[in-house]
Amino acid sequence: MSSKSRSKRKPDQFDFVDKGVNDSDSSESEESVYSGLEEEPDTSEEDQEQSSNQSDNDSSDNDDDEDITLDDKSGLELSTEQRKELSTASDDELNEINDQRYTGNVKSQNRKQQKQITVKTADRPDEYDYDSSDEEDIRNTVGNIPLEWYREYPHIGYDIEGNRLLKPEKGDQLDEFLNKMDNPNYWRTVTNKMTGQNVVLSKEDLGLIQNLQSSKHPDSMAENYQSSKHPDSMAENYQPWIDFFTHEKMIHPVTNHPQHKRSFIPSKWEKLKVGQMVHALKMGWMKPTKAKTEEEEEENFYMLWKEDEESEITRRYRAHLPAPKMPLPSHAESYNPPPEYLLTKEEEEKWQNMEPEERRMNFLPQKYPSLRLVPAYKRFINERFERCLDLYLCPRKPKIRMNINPEDLIPKLPKPRDLQPFPTAQAIVYRGHSDIVRTISVDPTGQWLVSGSDDGSVRFWEVSTGRCMKSITMETGSLGNMCIRSVAWNPHPDVSLVAIAMGQTVILVNPGLGDKMVTNNTDNVLHSFSPTEEESMGKKVYADWSSIDTSDKRFENGFRLLLQHPKEVSQVTWHGRGDYFASVMPKGDSMSVLIHQLSRRRSQNPFNKSKGMVQCVLFHPVRPFLFVATQRYVRVYNLLKQELSKKLMTNCKWVSSMAVHSGGDNIIIGSYDCRLSWFDLDVSTKPYQTLRHHKRAVRAVNYHRKYPLFASASDDGTVIVCHGMVYNDLLKNPLIVPVKILKGHAISHDLGVLDCVFHPSQPWVFSCGADTTIRLFT
Amino acid sequence: MMADENTPHVQAKFFTKQSQYSIPDTPYSVPAAVGTSELSSLINQILKGSDDSVDAGIEFDFLLDGEFLRVPLDKHLENRGVSSEDIVEIEFVERQPAPKPEDSLLHDDWVSCLQGCKECILSGSYDNTVRIWTTTGAPLLTIPGHSAPVKCVKWLSGDGGPTCRFISGSHDQTILIWEWHREENSVECVHACRGHAGSVDCIAINEERDKFVSGSWDKMLKLWSAAAVAEGDQEEQLEAPTKKQKISKKVQTRVPVLTLSGHTEGISAAEWLSRSEVCTASWDHTLRLWDMEKATQTSQMQGTKVFLDMSYSLLNRQIVTASADRHLRLWDPRTTDGAIVKCTYTSHNGWVSSVSWSPVNQYLFISGSYDTVMKLWDTRSPKAPLYNMSGHEEKILAVDWSIPSLLLSGAADNHLKVFQYNDEKHGT
């Protein structure tokens, strides 16, 4: 609370009331209070009392925890009494009354009131006569400390000179009691803790306390005046308001000075200045500032979050790039290097003759017996300079290192053992051939296996036991080439025929195995064929069909039909329905692919132009498409429309083999450059996935008809089985997981496994190789 | 008791079901790491102490909870999760004697199937012939008749009478029923059963010996009458080219009584379980049970591999199957839920081609494999077989244990091996 505000207000002292106030006592003792006060002014130690009172007031301002309890009823009575009194008295009278009434112990208040009154009269006493500030009046200088600390001592603190303030003598309980009984002011007597003095509260103090307690204006006078609508009441409590500078516009000036003369005369210097500027404008020295266009004004954006940005300097500190470190000195730079680091004479000469830039080391290693003998370093300045050059050219750019876990880059593939069944172990070895087994094929029921070998024999095997049931040795042809290049079992279950490509001929053999009915039917159908002359007349004959007579010795072996080709046949393949088959003559140029129809014994040449050396052909399993693999491309022809429908870019150097998925939308291609490429025909003409698991040329690839498996055979002697799941959902890519490497074939003449075929119904794979064996992996 | 005090010991109580070896029911403290041979000598000592008449040196085998002890005792207990603190009850049985190789019968070609019967052995071969041998190894007859390799042979009646009958099935899709006159040592084909459209791979004759079923590669199971005279028989000249023996008699063609389809691949084995129930094993990875009276399939057990053979034991009513992997599997056809494969026996290194139960001992069976070894198994010892019988140089195609004292195996090295097995002490 500032002294100024305090001076404006009525004194706001409120002092402690003894806790032991008695209700019944208070009402009775009202009259006696006044009489007692008037008649028996307590004059003892007036000054000290005053000061203590003052300090008491001050301390009470801060001291909120003092419990002030005053009975409501007594307080009310008191206030009404006051009102009565006050309503009758005028201001001055009241002051006088007050002066008279509060003689000793509340002298300070009187003074203040006097002060207030004197504001009006402008008869100011010396301001510094009485110091009203809070702190300076404290007699006890111990400060704001808990006074319990002085409980043990006879004094209660120190005055400003450092003398002890002795505690006033306190009587014992009996004195207390007597005091309580005798002293009519006992109930309004409190102890100032700072001084230990007893203070008798004035009536005004009591009223103040009561007003505070009943949430009224602390100054009971103000309230009373308000209630009585006394005209001068406000002047009593508040200073009158003088509105010097008002917001209202006044017509008269505040000051009364007359205007100066110069305010009526135009300025000479201004005129000069303007003249200069006009001249400058005329001369073109000065140009009028352009009026801002609207656009410019509109572009007055500002960065809303600019405060968030790091300032340039802090950013530079934070992203501090340390200069690259100097390499640590090596052994050769030691003053006493091991002898092997020292250069020999020749080396030293060579070093000397070299250009400084070419030298591996820019110093000569030198040996000193002790550190004392090491001379000053001659190259120090050079080195520092070079370092500076290095740093000058050093790119100060942070290296952003990508923290990528290598394992995250590997696609998540299921574990092979979750993808069973697939062939895992070799089960049966089919032995009997005496030379490279080039080609194998399984009959559609899965009971028989046919194999063609370089020894000129075709063997038929029982799959389950490995028994060779039949062996057909080809007679030496006109060319003397007995290699069986390709065998293919007719996929139709009601036809028992095997196509064998040997030299320039394709032989259709009825193996006579399996159901006898089927065998006989096949023979009967072949026998009952009668050629229709008209058709064969006009057209060019591409292949020469000839049937084997029943009397022929070869008929016994199962030979039924011979197709003589103009060039060597490398592959035969059946259409899924078993009526058509295609033969490949890689050197046949425009006739490299021939399609033969069994039922009409007719051959067609679907292509009249050679597109390259044909490696292999395949029929689409369901649609009339023909896949033709040349060295680098696979072309898909629509046989009905007779047009090229797709051309697959294999990205490999030399296609060796090809297989089509039973659904017909996916094909795999093996190549001599060790690759296996999976094509999704619906998606792209580029490989969907390329597997490079084989170490040497891939010789054959094959799909399983039922299980999601495909296999590739390679010259490295292994067959790799992969899980290749094709989903019906077109959006889902095929899942390709390599599951097993099947080893078993020995490599001979740099040839490993030459063909691999899946069992039609079981997850088994057959492979044949250059080691003359056929192996079954289950 | 034998080893020093520091080694851990196990309290063991021994008992046996063989009365001649019974010993007092007192627990013995044996070292925990004891093996079968030590335990065997211990039992021998006990037996010697109690009765002098018993000759020492008998080999015993020890069973804990129905499984043979094959590793040291503590490891066995550890594997089974049994506390070694408790008293372990160990059953001991006299060790199965080792089969002795007795004879090797040379054929002209691979031996694909065989069956023994009292004093005779019947074998079918890939040279299209069926042969009859005495159990001592003397060839009695070589019977040509089939035009393709013989895949299965079965005695229809071979019990000592003057005429014996047997059946053979072949790749030529026919089943021939033969009559063999023992005194004259002559054989004649009485019936040719035609109807299969694939090689006949298995034949099973019922207990009454009046019916048999055949399974074929054409996925069909056919029921035939095995009676001497049946309805629908037709006269037919057997067309087989014969060189050694002319069969000029008229042969009656028999047609199947019943044809059951259901398998999706060829049937590899069939067995009668009861009067009307037949179980078949197939390449389609299933075992199927058929009711022959109702002519329906009653249930199906799904396997994971191709079944190559199966055998059914009348003693324990269980099926053991041989698969196109290395394992033998024990099935109980009576269970309908849960794990129907009761046990897996793994020791072979190749396809197990054939399997056969012991006719007298409910625990024993033999298996032949493409790894050229025949193994004698005890169902209580799944980890290891009792004995390996090697001798063949090529894959074994058929094994048979129809004669209790003889283990027969036929293989692709043209040999039929006979092993003597003396199991009389055990009985059942």
State the DSSP code for A416.
G
In the numeric block, the tokens 């010097």 are attached to A244
The alpha carbon of residue A514 is apart from the nearest alpha carbon of chain B, in Å, by 6
Q: What is the reported pLDDT for B203? A: 92
Which residues are CB-neighbours of A456 under 8 A, at least 6 positions away?
A473, A474, A476, A482, A483, A484, A502
| CA proximity to B226, closest of B301, B175, B271 | B175
Return d(Cα A705, Cα B198) in angstroms, integer: 22
Q: How far, CA to CA in Å, does A480 sit from each of A477, A483, A568, A569, B282?
A: 5, 9, 12, 14, 46
A257 or A26: which carries more pLDDT confidence?
A: A257
The alpha carbon of residue B35 is apart from the nearest alpha carbon of chain A, in Å, by 35
Q: What is the reported pLDDT for B52? A: 56
A464 near B CB under 8 A: yes
What digits encode the pLDDT tens for the residues A527-540?
888 776 555 555 66
Return d(Cα B202, Cα B179) in angstroms, integer: 19
Q: Which residue of A has its CA nearest to B324?
A: A778
Burial B84-108 (b: 16+ CB within 10 A, else e): eeeebebbbbbebbebeebbebebe
pTM over 0.80: no
For an interface test with B, the pick among A443, A471, A496, A516 (most B C-beta atoms closer than 10 Å) comes out as A516
A34-A35-A37-A43 Cα dihedral, nearest 10 degrees: 170
A465/B395 touch (CB, cutoff 8 Å), yes or no: yes
| CA-CA-CA-CA torsion sign (A546, A550, A551, A554) | positive
Q: What is the reported pLDDT for A476? A: 60
Strand order in the sheet with A593-597: A571-574, A580-584, A593-597, A602-604
Stretch A441-462: mean pLDDT: 90
Which residue among A421, A466, A515 sits closest to B218, beta carbon to beta carbon?
A: A515
* Cross-strand pairs, B116: B121
Please determine, for residue A279, whether its predicted confidence score (pLDDT) is greater than 60: yes
A761/B197 touch (CB, cutoff 8 Å), yes or no: no
Return d(Cα B33, Cα B29) in angstroms, integer: 12
User: Is residue A506 helix, strand or coil?
Assistant: strand
Return d(Cα B18, Cα A643) in angstroms, integer: 85
What digits encode the pLDDT tens for the residues B212-255?
999 999 899 999 988 877 666 665 544 444 444 444 456 788 88
Stretch A475-496: mean pLDDT: 79
Stretch B177-183: mean pLDDT: 87
Q: Which of A302-306, A347-351, B246-250 has the weakest average pLDDT?
A: B246-250
**Percent above pLDDT 70 for chain B:** 89
Return d(Cα A396, Cα A386) in angstroms, integer: 17
Task: Give the best-scoring range by mean pLDDT among A248-257, A323-332, A395-404.
Answer: A323-332
Query: Domains in chain B, please, with CATH?
Result: 9-94 (3.10.20.90), 100-420 (2.130.10.10)
**Percent above pLDDT 90 for chain A:** 18
B198/A515 touch (CB, cutoff 8 Å), yes or no: yes
The three state secondary structure string of chain B is CCCCCCCCEEEEEEECCCHHHCCCCCCEEEECCCCHHHHHHHHHHHHHHHCCCCCCCCCEEEEECCEECCCCHHHHHHHHCCCCCCCEEEEEEECCCCCEEEEEEECCCCEEEEEEECCEEEEEECCCEEEEEECCCCEEEEEECCCCCEEEEEEEECCCCCEEEEEEEECCCEEEEEEEECCCCEEEEEEEEECCCCCEEEEEECCCCCEEEEEECCCEEEEEECCCCCCCCEEEECCCCCCCCCCCCEEEEECCCEEEECCCCCEEEEEECCCCEEEEEECCCEEEEEECCCCEEEEEEECCCCEEEEEECCCCCCEEEEECCCEEEEECCCCCCCCCEEEEEECCCCCEEEEEECCCCCCEEEEEECCCCEEEEECCCCCCCCEEECCCCCCEEEEECCCCCEEEEEECCCEEEEEECCCCCCCC
What digits encode the pLDDT tens for the residues B32-59?
888 888 888 888 888 777 655 555 677 8
| CA proximity to B399, closest of B421, B375, B371, B381 | B375
* Cross-strand pairs, A458: A452, A472
Q: Which of A516-520, A618-622, A742-746 has the weakest average pLDDT?
A: A516-520
Q: Which residue of A has its CA nearest to B307?
A: A464
One-letter amino acid at A328 equals L
The alpha carbon of residue B49 is apart from the nearest alpha carbon of chain A, in Å, by 54
State the DSSP code for A36.
H
Q: What is the reported pLDDT for B56? A: 60
| Contact present, A562 and A505 (Cβ < 8 Å) | yes
Please write down the long-range contacts of A233-239, taking CB distance under 8 Å and 24 or more positions apart: A235/A120, A236/A91, A237/A9, A237/A10, A238/A8, A239/A8, A239/A119
Stretch B142-166: mean pLDDT: 85
Stretch B354-366: mean pLDDT: 90
Paired tokens of A132: 């009203």
A447/B266 touch (CB, cutoff 8 Å), yes or no: yes
Does an H or E element contain A208, and which? Answer: helix A203-213
Q: What is the reported pLDDT for A31? A: 39
Q: What is the reported pLDDT for B215? A: 92
**In angstroms, how far is CA B75 from the centroid of its own chain?**
32
Return d(Cα B214, Cα B199) in angstroms, integer: 10
Count of CB atoms situated within 10 Å of the CB of A237: 17
Which residue among A427, A516, A517 sits closest to B324, beta carbon to beta carbon?
A: A427
A515/B304 touch (CB, cutoff 8 Å), yes or no: no
Paired tokens of A272: 């000069």
B149/A445 touch (CB, cutoff 8 Å), yes or no: no
Please determine, for residue A204, whether its predicted confidence score (pLDDT) is greater than 90: no
| Contact present, B157 and B141 (Cβ < 8 Å) | no
Return d(Cα B16, Cα B39) in angstroms, integer: 13
Does an H or E element contain A115, and which? Answer: helix A107-121
| Contact present, B175 and B125 (Cβ < 8 Å) | no
Per-residue pLDDT band for A121 (boundaries 50, 70, 90) equals very low
Q: Which residue of B has its CA nearest to A424?
A: B325
CA atoms within 13 A on the CB side of A707: 21
What digits encode the pLDDT tens for the residues B368-383?
999 999 999 988 888 8
Q: Which of A124-128, A660-664, B105-109 has the weakest average pLDDT?
A: A124-128
| Contact present, A323 and A394 (Cβ < 8 Å) | yes
Stretch B93-113: mean pLDDT: 86
Q: What is the reported pLDDT for A42? A: 42
Please determine, for residue A688, whether its predicted confidence score (pLDDT) is greater than 60: yes
Please determine, for residue B423, whether its predicted confidence score (pLDDT) is greater than 50: yes
In the numeric block, the tokens 């010697």 are attached to B48
Tell me the count of A-B CB pairs closer than 8 A.
50
| Contact present, A563 and A543 (Cβ < 8 Å) | yes
To the nearest whole number, what is the mean pLDDT of chain A? 77
A777 chain-B contacts, CB cut-off 8 A: none
Return d(Cα B281, Cα B331) in angstroms, integer: 12
For an interface test with A, the pick among B152, B325, B353 (most A C-beta atoms closer than 10 Å) comes out as B325
For an interface test with A, the pick among B171, B219, B392 (most A C-beta atoms closer than 10 Å) comes out as B171
Q: What is the reported pLDDT for A82? A: 45
A465 chain-B contacts, CB cut-off 8 A: 110, 112, 353, 395, 397, 412
Return d(Cα A297, Cα A295) in angstroms, integer: 5
Q: Which of A158-162, A488-492, A755-759, A760-764 has the weakest average pLDDT?
A: A158-162
Please determine, for residue A7, whether its predicted confidence score (pLDDT) is greater than 60: no
